Amino acid sequence: MTGASQPHWAAVILAAGRSSRMGMQHKLLEDLHGKSVIRHVADHVRASGFSSVLMVTGYRADEVSAAAGPIETCFNPDYASGMASSLKCGLAALPDRCEGAVIILGDMPFIRPEHFKAILEAITAAPSAKALVPVVKGEWAHPVAIRRSLFAPIMAVQGDKGARAVLKAHAEDVLCWPSNDHALLCDLDTPEALEQARLQSLVRAD
């Protein structure tokens, strides 16, 4: 997906949070089909042809980095303030050559390379769109692709939220990308969600 057809799109994996809904567990470090949750995510991103890949770390940063495998990271010292600080940390660290970024949550291991590649193809085919949001059964899903023209307003976001408010404010410039794939909605942020995932075969040991 690199080269002229997909010029300089970055992947930003958000992996800094405290995993507070998991109790004593850290969701990104938990085993899922023989690999940690974050390793599944990182492996799928590495296989997707992004020109740059960056993972934002914070809570238990060294453990998360080790579990993810070889990957460029940036540390968010303000990770406790919420997702916005991690998103801004990642966008600020991207090379200037990046046309945009696909924002990936570290607890969504069911999103596979074919999903990322299809999203890159869709946003590249819509040069007037400032962002792309997958929509599954009427619900906004992940990952979101954001062109650099929206980076500045996103850098003003505060608190435990991502880019949704900015995307809603620029709704006329957002490409809604329909999908029927539940993988784009499935995050593992509770013990119950993790246990349910362990009963599924949507993530394979690569």
pLDDT attached to residue 3: 41
Burial of 199 (0-12, 13-18, 19+ CB in 10 A): exposed
As a whole number of angstroms, the distance between CA 84 and CA 91 comes to 11
What homologous superfamily is domain 9-198 in, according to CATH? Spore Coat Polysaccharide Biosynthesis Protein SpsA; Chain A (3.90.550.10)
Tell me how far apart the 2 most distant CA atoms of the chain are, in Å.
Answer: 46
* Model confidence pLDDT, tens digit, residues 136-187: 999 999 999 999 999 999 998 877 777 888 999 999 999 999 999 999 999 9
pTM: 0.91
Alpha-carbon separation of residue 178 from 26, 29, 82, 185, 203 (angstroms): 32, 31, 28, 12, 22
Identify the three-state secondary structure at position 158: coil
Instruction: Grade residue 201 by pLDDT with cuts at 50, 70 and 90.
Output: low
Looking at the chain, the whole-number percentage of residues with pLDDT higher than 90 is 78
Average pLDDT for 43-49: 96
Q: Where do the structural domains in the chain lie, given as residue ranges?
A: 9-198
Residues 14 and 56: beta-carbon distance below 8 Å? yes
Say whether pLDDT at 113 is over 60. Answer: yes
Say whether pLDDT at 124 is over 70. Answer: yes
pLDDT attached to residue 204: 45
Instruction: Grade residue 189 by pLDDT with cuts at 50, 70 and 90.
Output: confident
Mean residue pLDDT of the chain comes to 91
As a whole number of angstroms, the distance between CA 13 and CA 31 comes to 19
Nearest to 58 by CA among 41, 82, 42: 82
Q: Going by C-beta distance under 8 Å and a sequence separation of 6 or more, which residues neighbour residue 119?
A: 102, 132, 134, 143, 145, 177
Say whether pLDDT at 59 is over 60. Answer: yes
Residues 109 and 185: beta-carbon distance below 8 Å? no
Residues 127 and 177: beta-carbon distance below 8 Å? no
pLDDT attached to residue 21: 65
pLDDT attached to residue 199: 87
Identify the three-state secondary structure at position 90: helix
pLDDT attached to residue 2: 43
